[in-house]
Structure 1
Amino acid sequence: MRGRRRHGDLEHEILAVLASEEVALTPAQVRDRLGGGLAYNTVTTVLSRLFDKGQATREQTGRAFAYRPVRERAQVTAFQMRRLLDGEDDRAAVLARFVGALTPADEAFLAEMLRRADQEQG
C-alpha cells in the first residue's frame, strides 16, 4: 500500500503526466498513466484545481474536458496576478502599490507595454 502523498505531490505527478504528452488528456487518461488506485474524482478535482491556478488549460472533448499543461512560467504568473487583482475591492489601490514598488526599468517597460496596447486598440 502506498503512503500518503505530501501536499502538492499529486499535482506535480499529474503535471508531469500532462507534460509528457503532445495531446490534451482526459482525467481517465491521466489516471491510467499514473497507474495505482486513484479515484477518477480525485484526478478530476486535481485537474480542475490546476486549471483554476492557471497551470493547465482545458478543452471540451465530448462530455469531459481534456487538459494540457501551461508550459510558459510567465503565463502562469500573469494568470495568478490577474486572479489576485480580481479578488480585490480596491483595484486602483492595488495597482498603485504595485506600480510604486516597481524598479525604474520595470516601470519603463510597463509604460511602453501600455502605450503599445493603447495604439493597438486605437
Structure 2
Amino acid sequence: MDEQRGPGRRASGSLERAVLDVLASAPVPLTVPEVRDALSADLAYTTVQTALVRLHAKGVLARERSGRSFAYRPVETPETMQVGAAARRMRKILDSGGDRRGVLARFVADLSPQDEALLADLLAATEPEGGGQP
C-alpha cells in the first residue's frame, strides 16, 4: 500500500506517531490547526484532521469541544502509551501463528536476571487460585 503514496507523502502510521508526539508534549488539548502548525511538515488541514479522527476512533485520543471544533489530548501518558504499544507488538508476534513456544523461550532466555525475577513475580501475581492450571 505504501507504494501508492505520492512523492513526499508519509505512511499514515508515521503521521499518527508524529501527531501523538505533538499532543503528548502539549500542556493543553490542541485543535486541528494547532496540531498542524506544530508539525514540521506542510500538511493539509484535512490530513491532520483525518489522523486525529482515526486516533480518536481507536481510543488513543480524547476530544472536547473548543468553539465549533474539537481539541484533542492523549488518553494515556507517553509512558503508558509506550508500554501498551510494546505489549501489542508482543501479542501480535505471539498471535502470528509461528512457533509460540520458541518465541517465548527465546524471550525468557534473553532476559536479565532482574527482568526474569520481575516476570516470575508478575506471573505469580496473576495466577488463578487453582495454581495456574485451567
Q: TM-score range by the shorter chain?
A: 0.5 to 0.7
Aligned equivalent of 1:57: 60
| 8 Å CA contact retained: 1:31, 1:40 | no
Q: Alignment RMSD, CA only?
A: 4.2
User: How many residues of Structure 1 are paired with residues of Structure 2 in the alignment?
Assistant: 109
Aligned equivalent of 1:118: 127
> Identity of counterpart residues, as a percentage?
34
Give 3-state SS (helix, strand or coil) of 1:89's partner.
coil
Q: TM-score, normalised by structure 1?
A: 0.55
Runs of 4+ in 1 over 6 A off after TM superposition: 5-9
Residues 1-122 of structure 1: matches in 2 within 5 Å? Answer: 4=8, 10-11=15-16, 13-19=18-24, 20=26, 22-23=28-29, 29-30=31-32, 33-35=35-37, 37-38=43-44, 40-41=46-47, 44=50, 48=54, 57-58=60-61, 68=74, 70=76, 71-72=78-79, 73-119=82-128
Task: Could you tell me which runs of 5 or more consecutive residues in structure 2 were left unpaired when the two chains were aligned.
Answer: 1-7, 65-71
| 8 Å CA contact retained: 1:85, 1:91 | yes
Aligned-partner Cα distance in 1 for 2:128–2:28: 36
Per-residue deviation, residues 74-114 of structure 1 (Å, max 9, x unmatched): 33322322223222422111001111111222111101110
Give 3-state SS (helix, strand or coil) of 1:34's partner.
helix
Aligned-partner Cα distance in 2 for 1:46–1:90: 37
Aligned-partner Cα distance in 2 for 1:32–1:91: 44
Give the AA of the match of 1:82: R
Q: Which has the larger radius of gyration?
A: 2
